[in-house]
Amino acid sequence: MSGENQLHGCAITGVGSYVPERVLTNADLESIVDTTDEWITTRTGIKQRRMAADNEFTSTMAAAASRKALAQAELDPAELDLIIVATITPDMPFPATACLVQQELGAAKAAAFDLEAACSGFLYALEIAQAFIIAGVHQNILIIGAEKLSSIIDWEDRNTCVLFGDGAGAAVLQRRDGARGVLATRLGSDGTKANILAMPGGGCRQPATVDSVNERIHFLKMEGKEVYKNAVTAMTAAAKEVLERSGLGIEDIKCIIPHQANMRIISAIGDRLGATEEQVFVNLQKYGNTSAASVAVALDEALQQGVVQRGDKILIIAFGAGLTWGATVLEW
């Protein structure tokens, strides 16, 4: 965890996002699995999601979002010291997708690595990056949340295939003396519940075989009710902690950006925090759950739409497989 007094001097100077052109609506899904637009909308709040093209990968979407963030920061890729990609859908088991992004951007000086914390990945990357900057190790860091979840979704499972989409979001962090930036962060995990949201196949525990493919274990598996219960509890607790540690009340927050997984989860967290509907930013209906890209894309859109102005306080909350979770208060 990080304390408020440690975190001055690191600023987010650029953000960017990318979503694929192809739109998959609830009506489209009606022809794929046994579901309806009404069933999906009432249970999740999702109306459509974006699907990557065959020639689009996590690395290419990550690079597209990164170029926008770098342009906003007015930073040449050659000046980057570090690239962190948060993803659960890397282009391949190795090398790191971050190295592929480094190559595509031409960021020859940058170190690069991947981070796997599922839907919480962008907040984990944010905390790591600002710690490097505050410590004086690096000056310019690019963090990215990017996913091609369509590649690990079981399109025969109506309970999961309706939830997820593809996309990427990026942010540039730089050393800025006197900048407020991240005010407080709380990260957490609970490995005892690792089994309720996982992709069982593909690792060293269950490598790919003909049988494993036939058993469909190379797809995302989720126990929805357990995920809901744990997500609401963990994100609410983390959010309350960072508000307390930053000396703020919920009324001081201009914009709350929760992980865009399910409207019921978002509403439950908002109620428990005492937030107004106007404070909570939602783009779930357009993109579904994009895992590590979720809060990054939402942050970029909130800024593009003028929801957040310079000096405003932002509360970002995430929860994902692991189980992992995080909450961050930013001063923009």
Residue of 10, 26, 99, 119 marked catalytic: 119
Q: What is the pLDDT of residues 230-280, one digit of tens each?
A: 999 999 999 999 999 999 999 999 999 999 999 999 999 999 999 999 999
Number of H helices, E strands in the chain: 11, 13
CATH architecture of 183-331: 3-Layer(aba) Sandwich (3.40)
Contact 125, 330 (CB under 8 A): no
**305: which residues sit within 8 A by CB, 6+ positions away?**
none
Would you give the end-to-end CA distance of the chain in angstroms? 20
Q: Single out the catalytic residue among 140, 230, 259, 283.
A: 259
pTM to 2 decimal places: 0.95
Q: How far apart are CA 320 and CA 33, in angstroms?
A: 25
Q: What is the pLDDT of residue 161?
A: 96
| Fold match flag (4-179 vs 183-331) | yes
Strands 22-25 and 10-18: unpaired
How do the domains of the chain map onto residue ranges?
A: 4-179, 183-331
Separation of alpha carbons 129 and 137, rounded Å: 10
Task: Please count the residues of the chain.
Answer: 332
Write out the two tokens for 107.
């960021």
Residue from 230, 262, 283, 289 carrying the catalytic annotation: 289
Q: Does the annotation mark 218 as catalytic?
A: no
Model confidence pLDDT, tens digit, residues 88-119: 999 999 999 999 999 999 999 999 999 999 99
Residue 119 is among the residues annotated as catalytic for this protein: yes
Q: What is the pLDDT of residues 285-304, one digit of tens each?
A: 999 999 999 999 999 999 99
Closest alpha carbon to 265 in 240, 233, 301:
233
Q: Mark whether 138 is an active-site residue.
A: no
Could you read off the pLDDT of 67-77 as tens digits, one per residue? 999 999 999 99
Class of domain 4-179: alpha beta
